[in-house]
Amino acid sequence: MAAAAPSEPSVWLFAYFHHPGRDGLRFAWSRDGYRWEDLAGGRPVLEPRLGPERLLRDPFVLPTPDGRYHLVFTIGWAGRSIGHAWSEDLVHWSEQREVPVMAGEPDAANCWAPEIAADPASGGHLVFWSTTIPGRYPGTDGQRGRSHRIYCAPTADFERFGPSRLLYDPGFNVIDADILPHAGRFLLFMKNETGDPLPPEKNIRFASAPAAAGPYGSASPPITGPYWAEGPCAIHLDGHVMVYFDKHREGRYGAVRSRDLRTWEDVSDRLAFPPLARHGHVFAVAESVVARLAAGGA
């Protein structure tokens, strides 16, 4: 089954999880990008199988030209691997497998919130995530000595991955990167994870590059308000760049939007996401995909 039939109308799908991530991948859908309804009765469609913690957090799903949906996710609070699985219909899934993306860094403490971006320059894809390597960036150590940066690895087929390398160092503790192609360039949205010195940052910013693999410029000023925001997900919606984010301390989702990337409007009060939704990813699918999920895969 192809990832999306071009002749079918598109709707929005939201892949997400419930904290702490032990029950698995869930989906919700929307026609307008603001009001969201759970699918499959709100039940998980994929349970975590990897790592000693058996977690499936921060799910990211990308439809690819081969007719598959590729899922990457966080498998634990510690470790040097991420999780990967694929599906042709979002109902039946391949075996989950660990991808040891930071195997070349024996001191790497973690691999959080992996995502995928198409990389037109190489004809393949770029997988990217955040990692702390203790002592690597001591000037920006935050809570519990963490100082994350964004790392990446190329892949042509999701079976073999190239060497991991640094993708972005904004000069501060950074996690939760998301890449959006925009106006011939690439925007990298991120969470400023600075916790010390006080006051903490915990806001969303972005940087721009001529290619998915960079180099990315300086980070923008914050585009979110005075609350702790994480897990940005950016899409194009109604002539705006729309950036969803997880207001994890408030237990709800928020969003800001902009037409020019300079002035940002907070539209959080217009959103209706499923209760308990955490750090997810929004992407377009054909209506038949939603119908299949709603029917429980029948």
Task: Name which of 154-163, 188-197, 229-238 the model is least confident about.
Answer: 188-197
Pick from 1-5, 41-45, 202-206, 208-212: least confident? 1-5
What's the pLDDT tens digit per position in 243-298? 999 999 999 999 999 999 999 999 999 999 999 999 999 999 999 999 999 987 65
DSSP 20: T
Q: How many CA atoms lie within 13 A of 77 on its CB side?
A: 6
pLDDT at 77: 97
Mean pLDDT (whole number) for 200-214: 97
- Model confidence band, residue 7 (pLDDT cutoffs 50, 70, 90): low
pLDDT at 4 over 90: no
Measured CA distances, 190 to 27, 107, 113, 136, 245 (Å): 23, 23, 11, 20, 10
Fold (topology level) of 10-294: Tachylectin-2; Chain A (2.115.10)
Q: Is the pLDDT of residue 59 over 70?
A: yes
Its pTM surpasses 0.85: yes
Given a contact cutoff of 8 angstroms between Cβ atoms, the answer to whether 129 and 101 are in contact is: yes
Residue, of 205 and 139, whose pLDDT is higher: 205
Q: Is the dihedral of CA 109, 77, 62, 242 positive or negative?
A: negative
d(CA 252, CA 182): 27
β-pair partners for 282 = 14
pLDDT at 98 over 80: yes
Count of beta carbons in the 10 Å neighbourhood of residue 187: 20
Domain ranges of the chain: 10-294
Is the pLDDT reported for residue 48 higher than 70?
yes
Give the model confidence (pLDDT) of 100-122 as tens digits.
999 999 999 999 999 999 999 99
Return the ∠ at Cα 76 (arms to 33 and 124), rounded to 5°: 60
* Residue from 209, 213, 212, 255 nearest 231 by CA: 255
20 has pLDDT over 80: yes
Output the CA–CA distances (angstroms, integers) from residue 219 to 43, 72, 82, 171, 236, in the order listed.
Answer: 38, 25, 26, 9, 20
Judge whether 16 and 286 are in contact, CB under 8 Å.
no
| Confidence check: pLDDT of 3 > 60 | no
Of 96, 52, 35, nearest to 70 (Cα)?
96
* Each residue's pLDDT tens digit, 226-235: 889 999 999 9
Residue with tokens 């690819």: 64
